[in-house]
Chains A and B, each alone.
Chain A
Amino acid sequence: KQEVTQIPAALSVPEGENLVLNCSFTDSAIYNLQWFRQDPGKGLTSLLLIQSSQREQTSGRLNASLDKSSGRSTLYIAASQPGDSATYLCAVKTDSWGKFQFGAGTQVVVTP
């Protein structure tokens, strides 16, 4: 069974610092991996989608890498801002229909 782990569970940094969030998964047979942002009591916002054949994706200050063979993905957020405070989830797609296995998330707080 696929298991997704996110480390650390929580992270607090001062504004301006770069953020590094880690995600690991036990089964390398994935279709893709997505990073999401979740704000308290709200739904999810997709940040980046990395296909299994890709090694990284970038969008603005966000960069996500994928090493499928080692079962790891890292989300980098450059020059963090207080508005980046949220919980970040990674999820791997485990079948062709769209079933995803989620990690428990990393709660990020960026202090002004």
Chain B
Amino acid sequence: GAVVSQHPSRVICKSGTSVKIECRSLDFQATTMFWYRQFPKQSLMLMATSNEGSKATYEQGVEKDKFLINHASLTLSTLTVTSAHPEDSSFYICSARGRPNEKLFFGSGTQLSVL
């Protein structure tokens, strides 16, 4: 089946640094990728939708200058958390829309801890 690889799985960084998370579709073309954030005991919240070759669309309340998304190819999307702060500590998950069905395939997630 389709596989989405996400890394790193866990990252600890100091406040003020930037962190890049990669999401790759391994055996299919993902024209659309989604980035979610999940705080403890809460549901997944969509942050942004990225389409290959175009700018990402951000959900209301998500700072586009803080969460930089790049989707330069059909198999790779990256999320960069710039100048991370402790309140950015969360579980970030990407997903990719696969063809021909409409299933979403999820990455394994990245636990970000900002000290």
Contact = CB atoms under 8 A, between A and B. Distances in A.
A41 B111 contact: yes
Given A31-B102, A41-B91, A44-B93, A98 B32 contact: yes
A74 B44 CA distance: 20
Describe A's contact surface by its main secondary structure: strand
Contacts, number: 60
Interface residues of A, number: 24
Describe B's contact surface by its main secondary structure: strand
Interface size, B (range): 20 to 34
B109 A99 contact: no
A105 B43 contact: yes
Interface of A: 4, 31-32, 34, 36, 41-46, 49, 89, 91, 93, 97-105
